Amino acid sequence: MVSLFERITELTFNGPDMNLFINGTERVINGVWEEETLLSVLREYFGLIGTRFGCGKGLCGSCTVHVDGEPVRSCITSVNNIAGTSVLTIEGLQQDSEKLHPLQQAWIDERVPQCGYCHSGQIMQAWGLLSKTSNPTEEQINAFMDSVLCRCGTYDRIKKAILRAAVMLQQSSDTHV
């Protein structure tokens, strides 16, 4: 696979560029791509393919990323509405190059994925929950995760993995104190 960057430049139009901070790095978007959804820009402009397209209408959650710390559906988020914000995608979740993010590790420990297509969105949504609610109840998990679909039906394991990750996060914050 190649970066799309070179071929994209020929499509650009004159006009002010816009900036986004994606996974901690400032990135510039220009030309016709400013009219695109955040999902297209992430996937096709920056090659961050981990964010998936499932419905295009904000109905399935496969495309979930964080904008300024809040989970959003990137398929219905227009980039020109979020200029200057910080975007976190599944590729940027892992902070420590040696160690997966606790949610990712818990997903492996519970053997959650089947086809795996929904899980970038599931994990980003789950991080939206755990980053604010460190010790969620099952009801809170259900309520928060209900908007992210998994056609393979891995929900039971998703729930277990979230609970497991919550414990892992708790433990690591305990040791840091």
Partner 1 sequence: MSDITRRSFLKATAWIAGGITIAFSARYAMEKSVAVGPTLEFPNTESGKGWLQIQSDGKVHMLCPRMEMGQNANTGLAQIVAEELNIRVEDITLHYPTTSETAPIGFTAGSLSMMLFSKPVAIAAASMRENLRCRAAKIYKIPVDEVLDTEGGFVIIGSPRLGYQDLVTDESIELDCEDSVIPNLYTFDPRRIKKQVGQEAEPRGIKDLVTGAAVFSGDIQLPGMLYGRVIKPPVRKARLKNLNLLSAKNIIGFFDIVRDGDFVGVVCRTPGSLDKAVRSVIVEWELPEPINQEKINQLIDINVALQDGDLPRTVQDENHSPSANWDVDLEFAVQLQTHAMQEPRAAVAHIEKINDIERINIWTGTQDPWAVKRHCASDIGFSEDQVEVHPMRMGGGFGGREHYEVEQDAARLALATGLPIKVQWTREDEFRVGRNRSPSSHRMRLASDHKGVLSNWWHAYASGYVFYSRSRLPDWLLPIKRSTAGGDFGVSRGAHPAYKSSSIRVEYKEVDLPIDLGVWRSLNGAPNTFVIESTMDELARQKSIDPVKFKLMNLPDSMARLGNCLKRVEKMASGKLLPTKSGYGRGFACGVYEKNSFVAVSVDLHIDHEARKICIDRMCCAQDVGMAINPDQLRAQIESNLVWSIGMALMEKVEIGDGQIASNNFHNYIIPRMSDIPELNIDVIDNPTIHPAGAGEVALIAGSPAIANAIRDATGLRLTRLPIKYTDITVPGAL
Pairing of strands 18-22, 86-88: parallel
Q: Which of 143, 167, 171, 173 binds partner 1 (CB under 8 A)?
A: 143
Say how far apart CA 38 and CA 65 lie, in whole Å. Answer: 9
At closest approach, how far in Å is the CB of 89 from partner 1? 7
* CB closer to partner 1 out of 85 and 159: 159
Give the binding range for ligand FES (CB under 6 A) out of 8-16, 100-108, 149-157, 168-176: 149-157
H or E stretch at 87: strand 86-88
- The correct pick among 113, 128, 130, 164 for binding partner 1 (CB under 8 A) is 113
Q: Which of 53, 57, 66, 70 is nearest to 132 (CA)?
A: 70
102 binds, among partner 1, ligand FES, none (CB under 5 to 8 A by kind): none
Sign, Cα dihedral of 66, 72, 76, 82: negative
Would you give the distance in Å from CA 139 to the centre of its chain? 23
The residue from 23, 33, 45, 62 that contacts ligand FES (CB under 6 A) is 62
Residues 38-67 that bind partner 1 (CB under 8 A): 40, 43-44, 47-57, 59-60, 62
- Interface pick for partner 1 out of 73, 104, 127, 128 (rule CB under 8 A): 104
By the rule CB under 8 A, 89 interacts with partner 1: yes
Alpha-carbon dihedral angle through residues 83, 85, 90, 95, given to the nearest 10 degrees = 140
Tokens of 125: 């949504």
Q: Which of 122, 113, 126 shows the shortest CA–CA distance to 152?
A: 113
| Shortest CB 53 distance to ligand FES, Å | 5
Best CA proximity match to 27, nearest among 94, 96, 87: 87
Rounded to a whole number of angstroms, the minimum distance from the CB of residue 81 to ligand FES is 15
Our finding on whether 125 is near ligand FES (CB under 6 A) is no
- Catalog residues that contact ligand FES under the rule CB under 6 A: 53-56, 58-63, 73, 75, 113-118, 150-152, 154
